[in-house]
A and B are shown apart, each in its own frame.
Chain A
Amino acid sequence: MMLTGIGIIQGKMTTDQQTTEQLTPDMERTIFHVDMDAFYAAVEQRDCPEYRDRPVIVGADPQGGQGRGVVAACSYQARKFGIHSALPISRAFRLCPDGVYLRPDMKRYVGVSQRIREIFHTYTDVVEPLSIDEAFLDMSHAAHNTDMALEVARSLKATILKEQRLTASIGIAPNKFVAKIASDIEKPEGLVLVSLPEVQSFLDPLAISRLWGVGPKTESKLVKMGIKTILQLRHYDKEILIERFGRLGEHLRKLSNGIDQRALVVQREAKSMGHERTFAEDVGNIETLEKTLKLLCEKVSERLCARGLAGRTVALKLRYSDFKTITRQTTFPQPVESADHIYPAVHRLIRKFRDPKQRIRLVGVSVSSLETEADRGAQQMKLF
């Protein structure tokens, strides 16, 4: 575990009084970020002993290096070869042709994920699942000091290991954003606690890419401005930041000062539901695209129906062979869930917006503005 040296008290800006007020650090909270280590690959290794100690890559079919699609997850043994998630599967195959390449078995992973979530709930009611393999837990009530927090975290890790034979890394901090960074610092099997007085000294040396909201584009802009670390960002002129980045600038300044007051979102409901398909070969033929889209609409519809959801916005996503990606959407007056309603809308969109001169690499369909039947209240039935 990492214990950052003598805590520099949080960085208060001294330039103006108002900012000082705004940048007062969080109230004392104890937030855990629990991140399962190499989740899909770990599940595979757990369930199949011969995969243990081997580089396991879960993702698209590599097809002997010709495959398309990307790595969804890989074991730590695979990471030694330079493989990481979101890497094109063909690159992964070139890096490690002898790896164990597996297609994801989402049903199994979801099942495991649910059981882990049940374990979380034995520790606290305030759980915010971020994805299938990570979650925030608000442990403020149970862990009033750092010793207690560490003890609870060790116990949680032990329970997960005992009941699911899987390892997790936990970051503990006064807020979500710092906890998430902390869980990543000593992966796998990490446990890092950043207490309130340590937040600033913990953040300061980190690269700005650690900040939520800093993608490659923002990063390169910041680097051009001479900002590489969080410390540099924190000391940068506020006015210029806000002038160049607007609201993002404000947000980044807060984060760089260790401030993130977002509460946990306990029941995060799906905001949209979608399916995508990357073609084995880029497609120019409209009939093939239509056939695929129809299938995707049916899949989306099935999932919507299974959850009792319907949505008013239907979106079509097209990625051309040059990776240029467009998304076009249409909105219905009433929420829809059946493929009979979704597909005609998608069909109109592709007819209207597709550039027929270009071949298509990926198509996707999604439905958003989701409502449950209860949200929708009384429903007018139709004559025609």
Chain B
Amino acid sequence: MDFVVKKTELLRELQHAQGGVERKATVPILSNLLLETTGNTLAVTATDLDVTMQCTCPASIKASGALTVSARKLFDIVRLLPEADIHFKSDGQSWVHITCERAKFKIAGLSKENFPDIPSLDMKTMLLPAQPLHYMSTRCAFAITQEESRYTLSGALMIVDSSKVTFVATDGHRLVFISHATEVEGVESENRVLVPKKALNELSKLTAEGDSTVEFGHSENHLLFRVGDRLLVSRVLTGQFPNYNMVIPQENNQCAVLNATEFGAALKRVSIMADEESHAVRFSVKEGQLEIQSSGTEIGEAKEALPANYQGAGLEIGFNAKYVLDFLAGLGSDEIELHLRDGETQGLFNPKPEGDYRHQYVLMPMKL
């Protein structure tokens, strides 16, 4: 194997490919990247067996071949090389020589034989607009559960039908629903898949660079997203995602309209004094205002009232401030409606719609 690539081009692809590398490194070869030349391109592949990332970049190839090398080392080397051409040359199967201007490296390679194959890509695909996928995947990832035991919640539900794309994520305490109205060609029936958290994060990164469309397909076991020349293949999560429609409240008739920026700033201040484990804060809404209050233990307390467009009866409810702030952090809109019913029913946060999006956040209260 003998080829030359431009540093900037390779570095950009390596940054994407890094996301696919196994972090726990239980199987040594999964800490490696597969470098493979075809025609006049170099393909870089990383996998942790659940998620596979493949990126390509143009290369001038003198001798084709394939080899795996440590992802971490290769990335560190390329990152620090001067902005110039990089020459890769392997002697047989065990060493790769990397030369860039005056810098020379020799790193150990492992044969391609032990590197897992990319899952079959034989599936029907459809074209989805890239920008909305980025918008939605970025805004729902935070709500995915961290608890390993709640397997079916460890990813986001993605639903594609002919008129919209929807993402739903939850950890059992809160739920994000976000949907984009768009015509999707080549879709006959509803496609429902559970996208694992890691794949969702990679999708969010892949769609950040301004490509206009994403090719999406799914088979019984795998999901495929192709963005430009980059490919993301993921195992699908199996299991029954909860019936999210059931928990989006329909009868929360008390509505307070808030300025999202002011609301977020006030909540951040008040939450400083909230109990450090529960992050509990008390919301009291009454005519014209929302008062947020935290009373920690011995450390002290905080209170802030902000103007709110509210006409209903007085109402108190406890929330985990962190859960509210997680949601506000990714918000584009500056106006937000808070729909409540009583102190025990889940609250519904509706940001003012942006474009063709429908965005809702359901949050279960805390017993204070």
Interface set of A (CB-CB < 8 Å, partner B): 333, 377-384
Contacts and interface: CB of A to CB of B under 8 A. Distances in A.
A60 B85 CA distance: 87
A384 B242 contact: yes
Interface string B335-354: 00000000010100000000
B278 interface: yes
Nearest to A333: B147
A381 B172 CA distance: 9
B366 A378 contact: yes
A383 B170 contact: yes
A379 B366 CA distance: 5
B280 A378 contact: yes
A339 to B, nearest CB: 19
A379 B320 CA distance: 9
21 contacts: A377-B275, A377-B277, A377-B280, A378-B275, A378-B280, A378-B368, A379-B366, A380-B278, A380-B364, A380-B366, A381-B173, A381-B344, A381-B364, A383-B172, A383-B173, A383-B175, A383-B242, A383-B346, A383-B364, A384-B170, A384-B242
Contacts of B366: 378-381
Nearest to B174: A383
Contacts of A333: 147
A381 B320 CA distance: 10
A380 B247 CA distance: 16
B19 interface: no
B86 interface: no
Contacts of A379: 278, 366-367
B362 interface: yes
Contacts, number: 43
Contacts of A378: 275, 278, 280, 318, 366-368
Contacts of B172: 382-384
B109 interface: no
B365 interface: yes
Given A378-B275, A378-B280, A383 B344 contact: no
Nearest to B281: A378
Nearest to A373: B367
A377 B147 contact: no
Nearest to B366: A378
Interface in B181-222: none
Nearest to B279: A378
A381 B173 CA distance: 7
A202 to B, nearest CB: 46
A19 B318 CA distance: 57
A381 B344 CA distance: 8
Contacts of B368: 378
Nearest to B278: A378
Contacts of B365: 381
Contacts of A383: 170, 172-175, 242, 247, 346, 362, 364
Interface string B232-253: 0000000000100001000000
What are the 10 closest A-B residue pairs judged by CB atoms, nearest first?
A378-B280, A378-B278, A379-B367, A381-B364, A378-B366, A384-B242, A383-B247, A384-B172, A383-B364, A378-B368
B356 to A, nearest CB: 27
B189 to A, nearest CB: 26
Contacts of A380: 173, 278, 320, 364, 366
B364 A382 contact: yes
A382 B320 CA distance: 12
A88 to B, nearest CB: 42
A347 to B, nearest CB: 14
B267 to A, nearest CB: 16
Contacts of B242: 383-384
Nearest to A376: B278
Interface string B302-323: 0000000000000000101000
B348 to A, nearest CB: 12
A314 to B, nearest CB: 14
Contacts of B175: 383
Nearest to A379: B367
A320 to B, nearest CB: 30
A379 B343 CA distance: 13
Nearest to B346: A383
A384 B175 CA distance: 10
A154 to B, nearest CB: 46
B294 to A, nearest CB: 10
B181 to A, nearest CB: 26
Given A378-B318, A379-B367, A384 B278 contact: no
Contacts of A377: 275, 277-278, 280
A321 B352 CA distance: 67
A377 B364 CA distance: 16
A67 to B, nearest CB: 43
